[in-house]
C-alpha cells in the first residue's frame, strides 16, 4: 500500500501499476507487475492487474498485427500476432488472436473482416516491440464499451468486497469515478458535485476525498475520508488513503492517534500495528516501534516494506538472527534467483557471505546501471574483503556521482576519509 512506500522509499507499488494501466501504458504496467512479483507480492489483486496489463499489451500487438496485414507485411504481422498470443490471458482475446492466426494458416484473405477477428478495443499509447501508435484523445463522455473496460482496469486494484458495490452505483457515479482515475479531475469534480444527495454514500465520500487530496486540497480530502471511515468502520482502503493524506502534511502524531483509535475500535490489528510501527519509527521511538512490529508479525502481516522495517528494528535491538530470518523470507533477486538486496546489505553490515553479497550487488549494477547505490555497495564489499585498491578506486568514482543519495554520499566520504 501507499503508506509505507511514502515512509520508506519509492520502489514498485500497486498504485504505480494501477496508474500505468489507467494511462494505457501497458508495457510499463507489465514491468511494474513483474517487479512486484519479484518483491514477493502474491496477492490476488496483483495477479488480476498483471493479467490486465498483459491483455492490454496483447491487444496492442493484435491491432498492430492486423494493421500490418492490411498493408501485406506478413512477416512483421506474424511476429506481432504470435507475441500477442504469448501475452493474452483473457479467453475472448485469445480467441480473437487465434481466429486471425487460423485464417492465415488456412490461406484465407488475411484481412477479411470476420467478427472474431475484429480488433479488440484498446486505447493506443504504448507497445512493447512494436511501432509507436497514435494516442486516443481525451473525452469527458465515455462510451459504454470503454466504460466497462476502464471499470475493470480500475476496480481490479480495489478490495473484492468493494468491487460489486461500485458496479451497483449509478451511471453518473461511474462516469465521475472513471474520469477521476483518468486524471480528468475537473470534469470528474463537476459530476461528483452534481450527484444527488441519496447517492452521496461512503464510496462517494472516499472518491471525492481522494480527488481533493490529488488536487492539493488536503484539508477537504482529510475531512471527507474521515467521514467515509466513520460510515465504514475498519475499511482498510479508506484508512490507508486517509493516512496517506495525513502523511503528505507530516501529521505524524495525528496519524498515530487515528491508528490507535482504529485499533481500539476493532480495525485489523496486524495492519494497524504495522502502520503504527512505521509512524513510531519516524517519530524516533524505536522501542515502541519494535513492540508494534512484533505485534504485526504475530498477526501475520508480511508486506515487503514492513518486513524490511521490522528487520531493521530487530537488528537495532540486537536480535540479529531474527532480523536475518525476516530478510531471508523475502524473495531473491536477479535473473539467477540470488539473494535479495536487503539481505545482501544486511550481510555486508555483518561482513558475512561476502561472495554472495558481491554477486548480488554486481547483478544490481547490471539491472540498474543508473543507480549508483549499487556501485557504492560493490565498493564497500571490496573493502570488506580487503581489496582496498579496487574499493577506493570505485569509491572515488561514485562519490562524485550527482545521482547518489546524500546519505549514501556521506557513507562514501567517511570510507574515503578512513572513518
Cα dihedral sign, 210-211-215-221 = negative
Out of 303, 331, 359, a domain closes at 331
The string over 157-173, giving b where at least 16 C-beta atoms fall within 10 Å of a residue's C-beta and e elsewhere, is beeeebbeebeebeeeb
Task: With cut-offs at 50, 70 and 90, classify the pLDDT of residue 96.
Answer: confident
Q: At what angle do helices 202-214 and 185-194 cross, to 10 degrees?
A: 150
Task: With cut-offs at 50, 70 and 90, classify the pLDDT of residue 378.
Answer: very high
Query: For the chain, what percent of residues have pLDDT higher than 70?
Result: 85
Question: Which pLDDT value is given to residue 101?
Answer: 84
Q: Which of 48-57, 156-165, 376-385 has the highest mean pLDDT?
A: 376-385
Query: For the chain, what percent of residues have pLDDT higher than 90?
Result: 53
Asked if residue 166 is part of any domain, the answer here is: no
Alpha-carbon gap, residue 419 to 394, rounded angstroms: 17
Alpha-carbon gap, residue 388 to 225, rounded angstroms: 55
Out of 307, 331, 355, a domain closes at 331
Tell me the residue range of the domain where 78 lies. 2-117
Give yes or no: residues 18 and 111 share one domain.
yes
Asked if residue 78 is part of any domain, the answer here is: yes
* Per-residue pLDDT at 4 exceeds 70: no
373 touches 342 (CB < 8 A)? no
Give me the mean pLDDT over the 225-230 stretch.
Answer: 96
Q: Give the three cell numbers for residue 109.
A: 484473405
Single out the residue of 245, 246, 273 nearest to residue 260, CA to CA: 273
pLDDT in tens, 273-290: 999 999 999 999 999 999
Question: Which pLDDT value is given to residue 350?
Answer: 95
73 touches 39 (CB < 8 A)? no
Lowest mean pLDDT among 99-103, 132-136, 371-375: 132-136
CA 190 to chain centre: 29
Question: Which pLDDT value is given to residue 81?
Answer: 85
Widest distance between CA atoms in the chain: 75
pLDDT in tens, 297-317: 999 998 889 999 999 999 999
Question: Which pLDDT value is given to residue 139?
Answer: 40
Question: Which pLDDT value is given to residue 321?
Answer: 95
Give yes or no: residues 6 and 107 share one domain.
yes
Name the one residue in this structure whose C-alpha cell is 539473494.
339
Question: Which pLDDT value is given to residue 7?
Answer: 41
Give yes or no: residues 294 and 385 share one domain.
no
* Per-residue pLDDT at 135 exceeds 60: no
Give yes or no: residues 271 and 342 share one domain.
no
Alpha-carbon gap, residue 169 to 242, rounded angstroms: 23
Asked if residue 179 is part of any domain, the answer here is: no
Question: Which pLDDT value is given to residue 160?
Answer: 86
Asked if residue 148 is part of any domain, the answer here is: no
Asked if residue 194 is part of any domain, the answer here is: no
Give yes or no: residues 6 and 97 share one domain.
yes
Give yes or no: residues 359 and 402 share one domain.
yes
Give yes or no: residues 371 and 292 share one domain.
no
Give yes or no: residues 301 and 407 share one domain.
no
Alpha-carbon gap, residue 340 to 11, rounded angstroms: 14
Asked if residue 52 is part of any domain, the answer here is: yes
Alpha-carbon gap, residue 124 to 126, rounded angstroms: 6
361 touches 334 (CB < 8 A)? no
Q: Give the three cell numbers for residue 35.
A: 517487479
Single out the residue of 379, 386, 324 nearest to residue 350, CA to CA: 324
* Per-residue pLDDT at 46 exceeds 80: yes
Asked if residue 260 is part of any domain, the answer here is: no
Give me the mean pLDDT over the 57-74 stretch.
Answer: 81
Question: Count of domains in the chain?
Answer: 3
Task: With cut-offs at 50, 70 and 90, classify the pLDDT of residue 98.
Answer: confident
Task: With cut-offs at 50, 70 and 90, classify the pLDDT of residue 82.
Answer: confident
**What number of other Cβ atoms are within 10 A of residue 352's Cβ?**
12
Out of 98, 117, 136, a domain closes at 117
Give yes or no: residues 30 and 97 share one domain.
yes
7 CB-contact burial (10 Å; exposed 0-12 / middle 13-18 / buried 19+)? middle
266 touches 233 (CB < 8 A)? yes
Asked if residue 74 is part of any domain, the answer here is: yes
Higher pLDDT, 19 or 135: 19
226 touches 243 (CB < 8 A)? no
Give me the mean pLDDT over the 392-410 stretch.
Answer: 92
Lowest mean pLDDT among 2-6, 347-351, 370-374, 411-415: 2-6
Give me the mean pLDDT over the 244-248 stretch.
Answer: 92
Alpha-carbon gap, residue 73 to 399, rounded angstroms: 51
Give me the mean pLDDT over the 64-88 stretch.
Answer: 80
Give yes or no: residues 23 and 50 share one domain.
yes
Give yes or no: residues 103 and 47 share one domain.
yes
Name, in order, each residue with C-beta under 8 angstroms of 382's C-beta and a sequence gap of 6 or more.
Answer: 358, 388, 390, 391, 394
* Per-residue pLDDT at 333 exceeds 80: no
* Per-residue pLDDT at 138 exceeds 80: no
Give yes or no: residues 52 and 111 share one domain.
yes
Amino acid at each position: 500500500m501507499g503508506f509505507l512506500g511514502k515512509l520508506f522509499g519509492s520502489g514498485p507499488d500497486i498504485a504505480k501499476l494501477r496508474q500505468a494501466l489507467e494511462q494505457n501504458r501497458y508495457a510499463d504496467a507489465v514491468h511494474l507487475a513483474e517487479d512486484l512479483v519479484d518483491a514477493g507480492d502474491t496477492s490476488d489483486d496483483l495477479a488480476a492487474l498483471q493479467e490486465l496489463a498483459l491483455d492490454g499489451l496483447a491487444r496492442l500487438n493484435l491491432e498492430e498485427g492486423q494493421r500490418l496485414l492490411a498493408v501485406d507485411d506478413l512477416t512483421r504481422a506474424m511476429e506481432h500476432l504470435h507475441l500477442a498470443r504469448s501475452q493474452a490471458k483473457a479467453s475472448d482475446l485469445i480467441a480473437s488472436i487465434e481466429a486471425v492466426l487460423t485464417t492465415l494458416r488456412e490461406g484465407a484473405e488475411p484481412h477479411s473482416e470476420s467478427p472474431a477477428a475484429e480488433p479488440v478495443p484498446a486505447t493506443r499509447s504504448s507497445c512493447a516491440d512494436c511501432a509507436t501508435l497514435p494516442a486516443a484523445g481525451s473525452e469527458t463522455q465515455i462510451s459504454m464499451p470503454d466504460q466497462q473496460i476502464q471499470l475493470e482496469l480500475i476496480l481490479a486494484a480495489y478490495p473484492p468486497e468493494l468491487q460489486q458495490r461500485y458496479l451497483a452505483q449509478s451511471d453518473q457515479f461511474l462516469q465521475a469515478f472513471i474520469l477521476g482515475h483518468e486524471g480528468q479531475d475537473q470534469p470528474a469534480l463537476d459530476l461528483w458535485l452534481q450527484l444527488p444527495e441519496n447517492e452521496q454514500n461512503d464510496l462517494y465520500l472516499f472518491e471525492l476525498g481522494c480527488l481533493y487530496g490529488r488536487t492539493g486540497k488536503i484539508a477537504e480530502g482529510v475531512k471527507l475520508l474521515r467521514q467515509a471511515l466513520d460510515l465504514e468502520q475498519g475499511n482498510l482502503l479508506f484508512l490507508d488513503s486517509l493516512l496517506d493524506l495525513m502523511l503528505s502534511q507530516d501529521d505524524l502524531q495525528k496519524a498515530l492517534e487515528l491508528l490507535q483509535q482504529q485499533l481500539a475500535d476493532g480495525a485489523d490489528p496486524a495492519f494497524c500495528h504495522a502502520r503504527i510501527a512505521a509512524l513510531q519509527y519516524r517519530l524516533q521511538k524505536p522501542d515502541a516501534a519494535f513492540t508494534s512490529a512484533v505485534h504485526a508479525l504475530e498477526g501475520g502481516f508480511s508486506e515487503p516494506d514492513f518486513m524490511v522495517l521490522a528487520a531493521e528494528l530487530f537488528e537495532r535491538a540486537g536480535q540479529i538472527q531474527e532480523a536475518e530470518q525476516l530478510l531471508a523470507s523475502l524473495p531473491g533477486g536477479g535473473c539467477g534467483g540470488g539473494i535479495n538486496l536487503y539481505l545482501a546489505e544486511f550481510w555486508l553490515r555483518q561482513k558475512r557471505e561476502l561472495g554472495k553479497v558481491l554477486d548480488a550487488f554486481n547483478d544490481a549494477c547490471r539491472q540498474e546501471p543508473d543507480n549508483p547505490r549499487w556501485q557504492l555497495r560493490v565498493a564497500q564489499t571490496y573493502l570488506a574483503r580487503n581489496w582496498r585498491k579496487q574499493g577506493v578506486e570505485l569509491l572515488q568514482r561514485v562519490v562524485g556521482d550527482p545521482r547518489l543519495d546524500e546519505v549514501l554520499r556521506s557513507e562514501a566520504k567517511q570510507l574515503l576519509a578512513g572513518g
